Amino acid sequence: DVKVTQSSRYLVKRTGEKVFLECVQDMDHENMFWYRQDPGLGLRLIYFSYDVKMKEKGDIPEGYSVSREKKERFSLILESASTNQTSMYLCASSFPTGGSEQYFGPGTRLTVT
């Protein structure tokens, strides 16, 4: 059974804190994604990684960074959390071929106060 796990389901942080969100997949996927999902705005890609230590910016990378030191793990870092980063954060992974599907984790609902 395919599995993408995220470190927390719910998280509450204060403005200015450094926040780490972790994602682990057990499917040996090369590609991993971080999205945020907000009502009325749909899914938006923050960062994409296609290999260990490789990354590409998505549509909304400002205020975020990522780390991929191992193939199975992709971390999202909020350098200094702000209230406008309150959101549902979703991690996904896939094989790099055109007909592949993305598998998602359960999501982390982050609230920044």
Q: How far is the CA of 113 from the CAs of 67, 82, 97, in angstroms?
A: 25, 8, 40
Nearer to other proteins, 67 or 94 (CB): 94
Using CB under 8 A, list all residues that contact other proteins. Answer: 4, 31, 33, 35, 42-45, 48, 50, 58-59, 88, 90, 92, 94-107, 109
Nearer to other proteins, 80 or 100 (CB): 100
Q: Environment class of residue 30 by beta-carbon count within 10 Å: exposed (0-12), middle (13-18) or buried (19+)?
A: middle
Min. distance of Cβ 75 from other proteins in angstroms?
Answer: 17
Q: Which residue has the tokens 């975020």?
A: 64
Min. distance of Cβ 21 from other proteins in angstroms?
Answer: 13
Q: Residue 43 forms beta bridges with which residues?
A: 37
Min. distance of Cβ 88 from other proteins in angstroms?
Answer: 8
